[in-house]
Structure formats: structure tokens, C-alpha cells
Structure 1
Amino acid sequence: MKTTMDLPVTVRATDRASMERQLDEAVQDALTQAMHEGCQGILVTQVDPASFTVDLSDAVPFGLTREHRAW
């Protein structure tokens, strides 16, 4: 049985396929935790062209995933 990751998760990738796979895994993990807690949404923040963070956020309504570019 897979356990959830500690949030936030930082994703760094050198190619698009790796980035998409890592982001999908991080968002799925965040979704599992969000469903368990039931009060926060998921925020995916692009820090630079090759790195992202995935975290739960009070600023995002439960049940939603929002993207933010911080650069």
C-alpha cells in the first residue's frame, strides 16, 4: 500500500514527460490528503520553468485544483 507524501512536494524535471509524470503523482497524493482532511484545495505553483510545488491551500476551495505562476 502506497503512503502519502509529505506536503508540499517539490517537482524538478529536465524533460516534459518526467515533469508531467511527477506532477501527476504529486497532485494525486495531494488529492488523497485533501479528501481525507476535507477542507482545502490543491495549489500547484510554478516556481520557474522547470520546478513546481504542490501543496494544500486554504486559499483554494475544497475540491478544486488551481495553478499559480510565481515567476
Structure 2
Amino acid sequence: MTQDIPFALRITAESQAGLDAALGEAVERAIGHALAGRSHGVLVTRHGRDSYTVEVTDEVPFGFTQERDHYTRTPI
């Protein structure tokens, strides 16, 4: 039987310290959800300088955490 474990959090913060803490907490929560289902991994996606999502998905193998960067930087 396949178990669907939907879990996603949107993370934003105004400081680097706040962002680091929020991401760490979100990843720990996501790992807990992934361990419960034993079929999904954790995906951390950066959307902007201070905007991320952390989700449990079957796009990532169980036992792995993967990062994606969708942040488009403008040249100086």
C-alpha cells in the first residue's frame, strides 16, 4: 500500500539568523513526516533571497534531502 504524506511549509524571514532557524525547524519537521511514510524525501526550494519552501515529495528518494534554487538574480 502506498501512503501519501502531504507536507509543505513556506518560509520567509527578515534576517539571516531568522531564516536559518526557520529553515532548520522546517526541515526537521519535514524529516519527521518523511520518516512516517518511508517513501518520500525532503525538497528545499529557494524562490528568492528570503523565500523558501520545504516539502515532503516523491520527487526525492526516501532518506534524502535535496535542494533546488529557483532564485533569479539580476546582474549588477
Regarding TM over 0.5, the answer is yes
Query: Gaps spanning 5+ residues in structure 1: where?
Result: 1-5
**Which protein is bigger by CA-based radius of gyration?**
2
Give the alignment's TM-score, normalised by structure 2.
0.82
RMSD: 1.1
Q: 2:44 corresponds to which letter in structure 1?
A: V
Structure 1 runs (4+) greater than 4 angstroms displaced: none
The residue number in structure 1 matching 2:23 is 23
Q: 1:14 corresponds to which letter in structure 2?
A: E
Aligned identity (percent) is 33
Aligned residues: 66
Shift in Å, 1:57: 1.4
SS at match of 1:61: coil
Give the alignment's TM-score, normalised by structure 1.
0.88
Residue pairs, 1:1-71, within 5 angstroms: 7-71=7-71
Instruction: Write the deviation string for residues 8-53 of structure 1: whole angstroms up to 9, x where unpaired.
Output: 1010011111001000110000000000000000000001111000
Query: Gaps spanning 5+ residues in structure 2: where?
Result: 1-5, 72-76
SS at match of 2:17: helix
Q: Is the 8 A contact 2:7 2:33 kept in 1?
A: no
